[in-house]
Amino acid sequence: MISEKMNAAFNKQIKDEMYSSNLYLSMVAYFEEVGLKGFANWMRIQVQEENAHAMGLFDYLIERDGRVIVEAIDKPEFEWDSPLACFEAVYKHEQLVTSLINSLVDVAEQEKDRAAISFLQWYIKEQVEEEANCSEICAKLKLIGDDKHALLLIDQELGARTFVAPVIG
């Protein structure tokens, strides 16, 4: 059985992961609107990943005889000045998610919930990868500046990304 404090922390993280999904869905719409279908594809994959992350937490909570409470999700941002500004927002958001996962681990440590600590190690590793991917794309976008041809090459590259369902835990 999971403690009430741990249960509440997991429910908060589920909400936060679903917010991430909605934020990235909003970014899909932005990239579709500006004609960058490869960028939109990359964000669609992010949406799927965030949904999978939320469901991993959801299923874990159920497995531990916890109670999932689906909470309302705030409206995400929906306008950015450029692809770079959008990806800088992604990078900043992923840094926030890393801090949220770390806070969840802090609760697990306070509660001496070793099962949760073990389970959350996957999320910690995932956040390292998420931040690195976003940082790399931001660096490329900064490097190319206003070069539209290079932007289209990056768009083509991001369009090749495919979703691979994560094995969580």
User: Kind and range of the H or E element at 69?
Assistant: none
- Looking at residue 31, what is its pLDDT? 98
Average pLDDT for residues 32-51, to the nearest whole number? 98
The CATH number fitting domain 4-159, selected from 3.40.50.300, 1.10.10.1100, 3.30.2130.30, 1.20.1260.10: 1.20.1260.10
Alpha-carbon span 30 to 47, nearest angstrom = 14
146-155 contacts, C-beta under 8 A, 24 or more apart: 151/36, 151/83, 154/38, 154/39, 155/36, 155/37, 155/38, 155/39
pLDDT score of 6: 98
The one-character DSSP state at 160 is: T
Cα separation, 33 vs 82, in Å, equals 12
Task: Please report the pLDDT score of residue 169 as a whole number.
Answer: 79
pLDDT tens figures, 116-142: 999 999 999 999 999 999 999 999 999
Distance CA 45, CA 80 (A): 19
Max Cα distance, the chain (Å): 56
Which sequence spans correspond to the domains of the chain? 4-159
- Residue 1's pLDDT band (cuts 50, 70, 90): confident
**Mean pLDDT along residues 35-60:** 98
* CB 93 within 8 Å of CB 130: no
pLDDT at 82 over 90: yes
Residues in contact with 19: Cβ distance below 8 Å, sequence separation at least 6, in sequence order: 73, 74, 76
Average pLDDT over residues 104-126: 98
Report if pTM > 0.85.
yes
Average pLDDT value for residue range 152-158: 98
Question: pLDDT > 70: what percent of the chain?
Answer: 100
Instruction: Using alpha carbons only, give the angle 100, 126, 166 rounded to the nearest 5 degrees.
Output: 120
pLDDT attached to residue 22: 98
Distance CA 23, CA 114 (A): 32
Residues 53-65 have a mean pLDDT of: 98
